[in-house]
Structure 1
Amino acid sequence: MPTPTRYPHLFSPLDLGFTRLKNRVLMGSMHTGLEEAEDGFPRMAAYYAERVRGGVGMIITGGIPPNEEGGFGAKLSTPEVADQHRLITGAVHAADADVKICMQILHMGALAPNPACVAPSAVKSRIAPFTPQALDEAGIEKQLADFARCAALARQAGYDGVEIIGSAGYLLSTFLVEKTNLRTDAWGGSFGHRMRFPVEVVRRVRAVVGPDFILIFRISAMDMLEGGLAWDEIVTLARAVEAAGANILSTHFCWHEAPVPTIATMVPRAAFASVTGRLRRAVTVPLITSNRINMPEVAESVLARGDADLVSMARPMLADPEWVNKAREGREDEINTCIGCNQACLDHTFGGYKQVSCLVNPRACNETLLNYGPTPARKRLAVVGAGPAGLAYATVAAQRGHAVTLFDSAAEIGGQFNLAKRIPGKEEFFETLRYYRRMIDVHGIDLRLGTRVDAAALQAGGFDEVIVATGITPRRPEIEGIQHAKVVSYIDVILGRKPVGQRVAIMGAGGIGFDVAELITHAGPSGATDIDVFAREWGIDFANHPRGGVTGVLPQVASNGRSVMLLQRKTDPVGKTLGRTTGWTHRMTLARRGVRLVNGVEYLKVDDAGLHVRVFGEPQLLEVDTLIVCAGQLPLRTLYDDLVAAGVKATLVGGAFEASELDAKRAIDQASRLAAVV
């Protein structure tokens, strides 16, 4: 097939000498939770094979510990386990013999959820449950031997290569950094001694796998951590690892405990690719870059600038397994884009090792369980409400062959997503709506916007079933003065329909409350769309690359000067229910803008003087100009009740089914599963 002119770099092959990659698209490593599941191997085989059929050039698996102390659950330390891995490699190569699959060897070191965890020194990470045991000489030799054995077994299992992760605060990176390596022997002290362990791991692995096996080393090109690696140390390590036998370097950015976001939707696209480009000029082997690269034009521009030889995308391959085929065929507008929300993927991984999936694609990691096959009996379906649940149901049902009519009283599709896309840092939600608009056309859905329908009209329409996705209505708490002119709904604020004063209280500190606080305190360009703004907000110095990549000066976030209090009834810390991997970023941003987070609040009344409350029992008057109500939602079920009363078969989905803690992940998942069996 000739190289497409639109993305010539993305679809050019890469010659590694002993083998060739068919394109520059890499499905990066992401732990899925299937690694520990009883039926994990056949499910992983299906998961990876679907991405192979979708066009990727190379896959790196989720992390596999080389020994018991290196992590949790699944390992690769015996020939018997290697035979199980053949289910994965066999499925990948059967789908496309030209695609390469590499197994990531992940030794979590001090981050392992294991009381037997080990590290160069007994330094506990603030995000880890256990203090690691300091390795002695015999322990170091054991770890080196275990890495080599694991790599040899990976080759035996049919993998085309391995990736050794030497970043993120895992074992190898803790040898490199002085704050976690307190040793004074030959494995610590000078940088030459501190890098000895990761370099020796690479040398041992290359010795056992031979020259015709891909060996990738994942290097921390910017730790995002005070006391992290200096640039000259990164270059020295990269060159030493290359000399020891690595034939690809994969750049990573940040330790897990670093106070800088690198994967959230608030991070600009390809924000860190220039760091990879800088390292690429210092070595001779190909380099992989990653982080917030989610559309073909972004990937192509990274490669065209010379910032990398390969582009790694993990979450985008969860969102759309056909990403590469769609890019190659000029169907970019059909890509179900990763929005960087983390809600169904990384929040699951770091929230207790739940199985990973994807908010915009519930089939991710469920390929053997959830499928959208052709319907044996075509039905006429009415879907009322074009929010996330209604859109998901309509597109899956139409894809399966049903005749779908989609109604919404608004002038555009999207429902609550039309609010989310207006929040600075959530601009990616525009992509999801673009995807659904295109799917409506592709699957021939009869879209009727600006149309409010009732039970009688739907009954007269001759539909076999009606799906009620009418969403929610904001809950208005019954306190004295709630009708006061200074009280406004979050919907009116986000849509700009009501003015907001200088002194503001927000009633409710769930996700919507945080979004509203972000919106009404924001000033200037969004950091999510401007790398320079993002760097200033989080104290990153891309130009000079100081030690760890951070300035060490407390970052300042631009504010419009409003005085804002974010209030919640619960006595738990404000923001506790936010996503595990993104919630801290929202709390930190608002704190830097001076937003007060207040818990233990009892609302008494609103009057001309302001909002009267008790905070942990103490009466207070909050002298505010505006009170924004974000006090939860109630399901809109009037239409459903009318349909049931009229004897029409009806199904509730999304917010109309369950409105508490408004949750697009749950709404899309529920709607997709129901549409898969209608």
Structure 2
Amino acid sequence: MSLRYPHLFSPLKINSIMVSNRIIANPMSQIYEDKALGRPGVVIAGSVITQPGKSSWASPDEPYAFSKYQVEKTRQRVLRAHQGGAKASIEIGHAGQYARVAPGDYALGPVSFVREDGVEVRAMDEAMMDEAVNWYVQTAKDAQSIGFDMIFMHFGHGWLATEFLSPLFNKRTDEYGGSVENRMKFPLRILREVRKAVGPYFPIEMRVSANEWMPGGIEFEDVLTFVKAAQKYIDVVQVSCGLDIEHEANVYMATTNFSEHMPNVKYAKKIKENVDILVSVVGAIMNPDEAEKIIADGCADLVALGRPLAADPNWPIKALEGRPEDIVPCIRCLQCYHISTNRRNVGCSVNPRFANEDWVPRVLPKAETKKKILVIGAGPAGCKAALTAYERGHEVILLEQRDHIGGAIHYVAMERFKIDIKAYLEYLKAQIAKSTIDLRLNTTATPEMVKEIRPDAVIVAVGASPATPPIKGIDGKHVINFYAAIEQEEQIGQNVVIIGGGTIGAEIGLELSLLKKKNVTIVEMASELAAQGNMLYKIALRHKMEQAKTLHVMMETGCQEITEEGVRVKTKDGEEVFLPADTVIISTGVRANKAVAESFYGIVPQTYMIGDCEKPRKIQEATLEGYTVASTL
């Protein structure tokens, strides 16, 4: 078999076990069966705690996974991970000072303090350290005895081991603080005792944060020193970055669209040059071409995938078969991350099944009766509906009034910080091209046309249009909407005022200032920029905006009038300010094309509105609606 990605799919010996490829399915939740069936080399089957009542980042009541009434369920993790031929690993962690503890109880850490939530954190003494080490040892032995092929020691992202390693957390003045040699004593003790317990031939992987992205965080040279000392006890080091609970650094652990692809490879390469063990790397490795190059160039021995496998669990299979265009790309929206969404609306923007595994089937069944399905509008909702109906075996006609598919994401994909959206748009184009969907571009649907087509069902996905607020002078020649600003960037003048600081307005302003060096002022009536974005998106946006020296933001400020020379605004204090502008960009949101959508009702009994024409929102909702409506026809 001729492989398109020969390095990615070359076998590898990890201590005593052989893996068939270089892909590690990293843990994101306790649901990993889809990833296992996608055939990576290793599946990390969720996480387990080490010290009941003291180590959980989820709940003080989280049970020990190997206790009498949990062990059978934990054994099932091994079996499920093995389904696709992968080796089964398990993440072993201790939340340290961040642990969820019972009321009145205390958490453990390198130093004593009281957390913001009122929980006491006690500096660990020798007895506490011994107890924690014993729990690590017991957990590792139990994982080995129950059938896991290897273990994954989480020593990154701000958890217990990191708290001792990093001067950000470790302010001790005894033998466990100060120099890196002191700070790594306790983490090395854990590794040494675990290795003794499981023997020399049981594979151990350890994760580290190469850069914590926080002032006062651990220096990379100290991380390298620690890994060099730890290599005698482990077989693989996984290179990550950032912190978990510290949200300012979380956006470098789970990167957004404002970060480069493969940000941790430079650290992995340096570590690999200095150690004699295997190196794996995680972080925005988005496609097989990137993964192949990492291994081919000798930067790492394995690639670890988290969110890319949430977007498409069959990523490894499709790469193995040389079908990268069929991989559903992650768009790095972070909707899949509970911290980002505050546990509200957790899901994947491009994979309806993620977080909905209990009711969205892995394989969509064929329809018992073939129908003619008409989809009006080829934005993300319409495309997903059309592809889902096609997958069900229906005859599908997809009408689009423009000369391209994509709807709003056609424009968004042109932005510099939206390369992942562009990849998703290309994916949709490729899937429609491969299908028998009857795509009719430059076709404006009418009720009369629908009657002539005589479909069994109509799915209306006509989207939304840019909102035009009642501002004096808005019809000026130098005033454009955000679509025009994206599509005709070369016509934008040097001095720019953007009316509206939602996600689109904010990103247009960022790009024009940071990359085009234009003088940009964003005028926003609300008290928050990019209010539609999730928490981590907003943090990452702010970090990027801080780099744009010619970008200015005026919050709680209303636009009073647009003139040929600029924009007159009023601040929350009632002060009137005039902003000179060569170009004024209107980015005050969109309005659903409800009237158009509703005009298609009454022709056939089965008529549905999906996506932005129902209510403007995220790609996640559009994709899910397109899927769910079409999957039941």
Would the TM-score normalized by the shorter structure come out above 0.5? yes
Aligned to 1:469: 461
Residue 395 of structure 1 aligns to which amino acid in structure 2?
L
Q: Is the contact between residue 461 and residue 613 of structure 2 (CA under 8 Å) also seen in structure 1?
A: yes
Partner of 1:481: 473
Is 1:655 matched with 2:612? Answer: yes
Post-superposition Cα deviations, 1:221-269, rounded to whole Å, max 9, x if no partner, equal: 33334433344433331132222x2111111123344657452223232
**1:54 aligned onto 2:38:** yes
User: Is 1:107 aligned to 2:94, yes or no?
Assistant: yes
Unaligned runs of 5+ in 2: none
The letter of the residue matching 1:306 is G
- CA-CA distance at 1:628 after TM superposition: 1.5
Alignment match, 1:147: 136
Question: Structure 1 residues 393 and 125 mapped into 2: Cα distance closer, same or farther (>3 Å)?
Answer: farther
Residues 543-558 of structure 1 mapped to structure 2, 5 A cutoff: none
Alignment of 1:69-218 (within 5 A): 69-70=54-55, 71-73=57-59, 74-76=62-64, 78-93=67-82, 95-96=83-84, 98-112=85-99, 114=101, 116-122=106-112, 132-218=121-207
Q: What is residue 580 of structure 1 aligned with on the other side?
A: 535
Distance 1:189 1:675 in 2: 61
For residue 676 of structure 1, what is the aligned residue in structure 2? 631
C-alpha deviation, 1:387, in angstroms: 0.7
C-alpha RMSD of matched pairs (Å): 2.4
Cα deviation, 1:584-619, whole Å, max 9, x if unaligned, reads 222232233232222222333333453333211413
Q: Given the alignment, which residue of 624, 630, 633 partners 2:587?
A: 630
Aligned partners of 1:381 and 1:465 also within 8 Å: yes
Which residues in structure 2 correspond to 1:378-527 (within 5 Å)? 378-496=370-488, 499-523=491-515
User: Match of 1:664?
Assistant: 619
Q: Does the CA-based 8 Å contact 1:217-1:241 persist in structure 2?
A: no
* Alpha carbons of structure 1 residues 608 and 266: separation in structure 2 relative to 1, 3 Å: closer
1: CA distance, partners of 2:533 / 2:34: 32
Q: Does the residue aligned with 1:592 lie in a helix, a strand or coil? A: coil
Alpha-carbon displacement from aligned partner over 1:374-408 (angstroms, at most 9, x marks no partner): 11222110111111101111111111111111111
**Residues of 2 paired with 1:391 and 1:409: CA distance?**
14
Residues 1:21 and 1:354: Cα distance change in structure 2 (over 3 Å): farther
Q: Choose from 273, 276, 299 the match for 1:307.
A: 299
Sequence identity (%) = 26
| Structure 2 residue aligned with 1:365 | 355
3-state SS of 1:246 partner: coil
> In the TM superposition, what is the alpha-carbon distance from 1:88 to its structure 2 partner?
2.1
CA contact (8 A) 1:424 1:522 kept: no
With over 3 angstroms needed to count, the CA separation of the structure-2 counterparts of 1:671 and 1:325, relative to structure 1, is same
User: What is residue 336 of structure 2 aligned with on the other side?
Assistant: 345
Amino acid at match of 2:53: E
Q: What SS does the corresponding residue of 2:558 show, helix, strand or coil?
A: strand
Letter paired with 2:541 = H
Q: 1:224 to 1:601 in 2, by over 3 A?
A: closer
Q: Does the 8 A contact of 1:86 with 1:157 survive in 2?
A: yes
TM-score by length of 2: 0.91
Query: Aligned-pair distance for 1:280?
Result: 1.2
| 8 Å Cα contact 2:22-2:41 kept in structure 1 | yes
CA distance in 1, matches of 2:377, 2:396: 12
- Structure 1 letter corresponding to 2:459: I
Partners of 1:123 and 1:281 lie apart in 2 by: 39
| 1-structure distance, mates of 2:134, 2:573 | 61
CA contact (8 A) 2:450 2:603 kept: no
Q: Which runs of 5+ in 1 are unaligned?
A: 36-43, 524-558
Aligned positions, number: 617
The one-letter amino acid of 2:369's match is: A
Contact 1:289–1:311 (8 Å) recurs in 2: yes
Q: Tell me if structure 1 keeps the 8 A contact 2:205–2:238.
A: yes
Please give the alpha-carbon distance, in whole angstroms, between the structure 2 residues aligned to 1:382 and 1:80: 52
Q: Quick check: 179-188 or 316-325, which moved more? A: 179-188
CA distance in 2, matches of 1:610, 1:412: 34
Aligned residue among 543, 546, 554 for 1:591: 546
- Give the drift of 1:332: 1.3
TM-score by structure 1 length?
Answer: 0.86
- Whole-Å separation in 2 of the counterparts to 1:504 and 1:124: 47
Give the corresponding residue for 1:531: none
**1:49–1:92: 8 Å Cα contact kept in structure 2?**
yes
Cα distance in 1 for partners of 2:307, 2:118 equals 27
2:92 counterpart letter in structure 1: I
1:8 paired residue among 2, 6, 9: 6
- 1:544 is matched with none
**Separation in structure 2 between the aligned mates of residue 355 and residue 193 of structure 1, nearest angstrom:** 43
Asked if the contact 1:23–1:57 (Cα under 8 Å) also holds between the matched residues in 2, the reply is: yes
1:667 Cα deviation after fit: 0.9
Give the secondary-structure state (helix, strand or coil) at the position aligned to 1:512: helix
SS of equivalent residue, structure 1 residue 274: helix
Distance in 1 of aligned mates of 2:23 and 2:80: 19
2:267 to 269, 272, 275: 275
Partner of 1:616: 572
Checking the alignment, whether the CA contact within 8 Å between 2:612 and 2:622 is kept in structure 1 is: yes
1:179–1:436 CA distance, 2 compared to 1 (3 A): closer
Q: 1:19: which partner in 2? A: 17
Q: 1:18 to 1:608 in 2, by over 3 A?
A: closer
Out of 314-323 and 66-75, give the one that drifted further. 66-75
